[in-house]
Each structure stands twice: as structure tokens, then as C-alpha cells.
Structure 1
Amino acid sequence: MNACARPPVVLDTDGAVGPLPGERRVVLPPSWREAVRFGCGLARLRGCAAGLQAHMPPFAEHGTVFMGSGDFHHLSWPLIERCIAARGHTADKPLRVVVLDNHPDNMRFPWGVHCGSWVRRVAMLPQVAHVHVAGITSGDIGAGHAWEHHLGALRAGRLTYWSVGVDTRWAGWFGLGRAFRNFEDGDALVRALCDTLAAAPHATYLSIDKDAFAPDVAHTNWDQGVLRAEHAEAVAAALRGNLAGSDVTGEVSVWRYRTAWKRWLSAADGQDTGRSDAELPAWQAQQAALNLRLLRALDGAS
């Protein structure tokens, strides 16, 4: 890795992120891990973010933020706000956001915010020009889940879903067809996304949830997509010179919720984070190798 690279930050939410070269590690206290994981109220998220901010190095002095399981992906919202504040983005000089994810993360969650609803919050920020969520293969964007989406950002042209192999014809019935781009495979999706990003150079925040990758690339706690590591590298390369900030989530980890409602919500989303699999060490070694590869690509784009 380039000796001039800004060191990464590990937001140690669950102990799942292995050592990274030159890292600055900020440990989330145990009480916050249960409180924030999967979802929480808005005040609780703000309190957690303020505590983390107090222990993080200045924005200009660090690189990519790694933050454990995708159950914590909603922490990207305050990280993006931190990027906006540090770089002085405004409605006249907005930030673009690209999210690699197997899920839209724009779903309804009446109890505050969770790992599947935070994109709406970011798309509503006046300092954000557009959010692209790319790599979706989940049925979350199929007709059966249409009622669960926040449609405002899609309708306003502030949010675009990029998917592979999902029937999204329902979007046309609601006049949302332009916000849905569907492709035959990951190669075609990434080519089109890279062309779009390169055609309009713009300061961009990139958030990577590794559940967008195929399971043989990185095993995660969630159902997974079809992207390869080289696809993420291609997206980073398309943003070279315009990458304003980045984060990576989607580690595989074990956690048993103390609260019954979180156990229920997690199970309803197809998770079983309380079960420790014999293959966990191998999966985490695979994850660690991928983290180094992503770190090199993101550092090269900064």
C-alpha cells in the first residue's frame, strides 16, 4: 500500500474487522452495540454518532471507514453527514453517493432508522445530489415489496436502483421506471454504472456493503448478490480523483440479541446471527483478504 495513504478507521462495532495496515480503531462500547445494531431510534443513533465522532481522527487525516456487520450500515448516514460538513458541501455544491448493496436500504421502518432504511435519510439531505444503489438482486425491489419503499426520493429523481435479474415492472405502473435500471448480469451493470460515473465527474461518497458480492467472494450475515471484487475495483477506478469519502461494511459476525423484538426483526429478514458456524474462521479470513483488496482500490481512488 502507498506509504502516503491516509490510514483507515475501524469502527469496531462487533469485533469482526481484522487488523488493517495503519488503522485507527475506535471501539463501540458493548451497551451501544446492542442498542444500535440492526436498528434504533433517531436520538439513539445521534448519540452513538456523537460519541464516535469524538474519538475519530479529523476527517482529512483518515481514509476509508470499516464498520463491521451490515447490521450497522445505517451508521453510513452520520458518516456521510460528517463528510459533507468537513468538505463544505452545499445544495449548490452537492455530494453524490454510490452504494454497492444487495438491498435498496430504502424501506419503511417506523421505529427510527435501521440498516435497511437509511438511504432515504441520505437522499433527503439537500447537500446530496443523487444516490445510486447498485448491485441489488434481492426481491426487496420486486412487486411484492413495493408498498414497503419510500417512493419520494425515487419519484423526485434523487435515487436510482441498479439491479440484476429482478422483475421491477411494477415501477413503471407508478411512473418510477427511470429510477430502476435492471441488467442481465453484474458485468453489464458495472459497465453501465462506471460509464455513468465517469461521464459526470462529481465529488462522490462510496459505501460498500459486502452482501452485494457473491458468497464465494465474501460470506456475510445476509442474503447476497452477484458482484465480484473486480467490480468494486472498477467502480473505485471510475471515481478516481473524485472520491470524497468511503466506508465498507458487511463483515460476518455472531451476535445474539438480548431484546426479543430485535431477534424477531432479524429472523424476519432471514438472519440467524446467533448461530456460530464451524466455518466462521475461514469466512472471516476471506473477509480480511477482501478488506485489504478494497482498501487498496479505495486508496488508489482517493
Structure 2
Amino acid sequence: MSAPMQRSVDVKHRIPASSAPVIMDFTGTYGEQPFARDGNFNWLDCRGIQGTDCYCDEEGGAALGKLIAAFSPYGLHFLDSGNYHYLTKLWTDRIREPFSLVLFDHHTDMQPPMFEDLLSCGGWVKKMLDTNPFLQKVLIAGVPESEAVKVRSERVLTISEEWMAFGLRAFEPVQALFCSGQSVGVQSLSEYGTCDSEDRQSSDIPIYISVDKDVLSKDFASTNWDQGSLTLELLSGAIAMLLDCFNVIGMDVCGEPDSSDVLFSDKACMLNSAANERLLALWQEQGR
């Protein structure tokens, strides 16, 4: 088993405590969630931007890029439903230093594009890997084992949904994983190693966290995509561990309810508001 991760944070990447999180409102759901109504946010109204739902065309991407230009990627961003998860790419395209991505998602979001000129919610991770020269590695946590084994890239590591059922110990070898480039399945428990001092330096690279709440079970979130089985406690614990042990320079959260649901049902809004509030608190508790 890997040695405990050591805290290594370059304070120059810290986000000032006064930096308000950004809310990108495409569907109106945040207006129904108490956490958003009661907090201090930079609220971006995206409802009038065309060409952005699931697929982002050139015009839509340009409009969104212009909208977020005034805000730093080094912060917390709420992205609305999973249909807009490709926004992670737009935010991280503005990072001008080596970094790695930690993605909590029930899907790999590595589908080949149907159209080369369209950025999609199902293929943005692959697009980042293909085009972002600063992106070092991607860790995807929470995908089914059946999907995790399909990932074929030395730069992409996986912690399967089944492995995460073991609890936070699933994240104990994260530092070694970033060094060695192996995937994590239920059968690979004995394969973990530790990084030597030279390799361990690679874990000092800043990370950006992206969360799709479809990684959670339906007891803890309501999304418009098929969902996983994680508890909010486990997700929160994993993120808290990353925030405490790594130089986390930014984070975003998506996975809001289906906008076709009448008024985003009260239950869906309350579930998601509670999850969003917890993730917001985690970010703020770290002095960000």
C-alpha cells in the first residue's frame, strides 16, 4: 500500500478568500437551490447563448469564452447540468502551467467526437488530452469497472466505482498512481507501489478537480444522466483529502437536475443544493 500523501502546496496558486465562486446559469436551476440564493457568487447568465446544450459549436464557445474571460480559472465554478461539463475544458484552457485533472464522474467523457469542430459533454476529456499542452495526467474516479477497463491511455488513470466502495482507502495510493500510471480495479489491490523520491516530485504538479454529481447515487443528487453509487460522504472525504494533500488550483461542479422536470422538482433541488453546499464548504474550509 502506498505511503501517506504529504502536503505540498505552492502558496502562489492559492485563491484569495474573497474570490467569489462563479455560477454559470444555463437552465435556471440554481435559482431554485437555497445554497445559491443565500451565498456570495459571481452569477453568469448563460440562458441566451445558443449552440451550447450537450454540444458546443464555435459561436457558442466564443460567447462562453468571452463571458468567463473576466474570471480566473483558479477558483470554484458551478457549471449547471452535465450537458455543460465541457466547460471544464474552457476554464482549464486558460491555465498556463503544467497541471493534472482529477475527475469525479460516472462516465469517462472520452468519446471520440461525432463532428471535429464540436466540443461535447461526452468527449471533452479526450479533447483536452489531444489539445492542451499543459495537461499532464487525468485521474477519473467513479466510473464503472466495465468502462474503466476500456480506457487505453498512459496519461489516464482510473479508480473504478467498485474500487471506491472500499471507502477513502481507495485514495491512499493516489500519489503513487500519478507517478506510475496504472488503473485501479478491485483486482489490483496488491499491485500498488510507492513512488521513490525522484518520482514523487511529479505529485507536486498542481491539480484541477472536476465533479459531475452523476457519480453520486440518487439518494444524494438528481441529475439528467445515469448515476453511480457513491455517497456524498465518500465524495466529500475524497475531495477533502485532495484539497489537504495536493496543490489544488481550481474546481468545478456540474450535475444539476433535468430541466424538463416540472420546476426542477423540490426534492431534486434540495438534494442538489445540499450536495453543492457541502462542496462549496469544502472549498472554503481550505481558505480558498
TM-score scaled by length of structure 1:
0.70
Specify whether residues 288 and 136 from structure 1 end up closer, same or farther in structure 2 by C-alpha distance, changes over 3 A only.
Answer: same
| Pairing 1:230-269 to 2, within 5 Å after superposition | 230-237=233-240, 238-240=242-244, 242-254=247-259
Match of 1:162 among 153, 159, 162: 159
Counting matched residue pairs gives 239
* CA shift digits 1:18-59 (9 cap, x unpaired): 315111101104242xx2111133x234313323224x4345
Aligned partner of 2:137 in structure 1 is 130
Superposition deviation, residue 226 in structure 1? 1.6
**In 2: Cα distance, 1:24 partner to 1:164 partner:** 33
CA contact (8 A) 1:96 1:202 kept: yes
1:130-209, aligned counterparts within 5 Å? 130-137=137-144, 140-141=147-148, 151=152, 154=153, 157-165=154-162, 183=163, 185=165, 187=167, 188-193=169-174, 196=177, 200-209=203-212
C-alpha displacement at 1:202, in angstroms?
2.7
- Relative contact order (C-alpha < 8 Å, sep 6+): which is higher? 2
Cα distance per residue 1:194-232 (max 9 Å; x no partner): 775796233110000000011101111111112222223
User: What stretches of structure 2 of length at least 5 have no aligned partner?
Assistant: 1-15, 179-194
Name the SS of the counterpart of 1:36 in structure 2: coil
Q: In structure 2, do the counterparts of structure 1 residues 5 and 195 end up closer, same or farther at CA, with 3 Å as the change threshold? A: farther
What corresponds to 1:48 in structure 2? 63
Q: Distance in 1 between matches of 2:126 and 2:56?
A: 15
Name 1:12's counterpart in structure 2. 25
SS at match of 1:14: coil
Which residue of structure 2 lines up, in the alignment, with residue 27 of structure 1? 45
1:57 equivalent in structure 2 = 71
- Pairing partner for 2:103 from 90, 99, 119: 99
How many angstroms apart in 1 are the aligned matches of 2:225 and 2:90?
23
2:267 aligned to which of 275, 282, 286: 282
Residue 8 of structure 2 is matched in structure 1 by: none
Counterpart secondary structure, 2:93? helix
Structure 1, unmatched stretches of 5+, are 166-182, 255-273
Q: What percentage of residue pairs aligned between the two structures are identical?
A: 24
TM-score between the two structures when normalised by the length of structure 2 = 0.74
- Residue 291 of structure 1 corresponds to 276
- Structure 1 segments of 4+ aligned residues over 4 angstroms from their partners: 138-142, 194-199
Q: Distance in 1 between matches of 2:243 and 2:128?
A: 20
The Cα of 1:109 is off from its aligned counterpart by 2.2
From 78, 81, 85, the equivalent of 1:69 is 81
Shift in CA distance, 106/246, structure 1 to aligned 2, threshold 3 Å = same
